[in-house]
Amino acid sequence: MIGWVVLILAILVILAVVGLGWESFFGGVKKGVEKIGSLPEVKNLTDKAKTEFDSIIGNSTLDIIAITESM
């Protein structure tokens, strides 16, 4: 079932690219992403994800340093 949905979406994207042209299609996609990226909710979510990611990476780095120092 999911395979069919992916296939149909891929065909629709290909037809849109062919119909609109490469530059027009991806220019429109880029504009849409910029509009969505400028929403406050998306910015807050992105900032929170970045903070969590930095925290995870920082903790992992400290664990690696502790392990190497104990050897």
Amino acid in the structure at residue 59? N
Residue 37 lies in a domain: yes
For the chain, the domain total comes to 1
Q: What is the pTM of this model?
A: 0.44
Residue 39 lies in a domain: yes
State mean pLDDT over 10-36. Answer: 85
Alpha-carbon gap, residue 48 to 18, rounded angstroms: 38
Q: What are phi and psi of 39, to 5 degrees?
A: -70, 140
Alpha-carbon gap, residue 16 to 29, rounded angstroms: 11
Q: Is the pLDDT of residue 47 over 80?
A: yes
Alpha-carbon gap, residue 61 to 68, rounded angstroms: 11
State mean pLDDT over 8-33. Answer: 85
**Could you list the residue range(s) of the whole structural domain that residue 53 is in?**
31-71
- What pLDDT score does 67 carry? 64
User: pLDDT band for position 63 (50/70/90)?
Assistant: low
- Which is more confident, 34 or 71? 34
Residue 6 lies in a domain: no
- What pLDDT score does 15 carry? 84
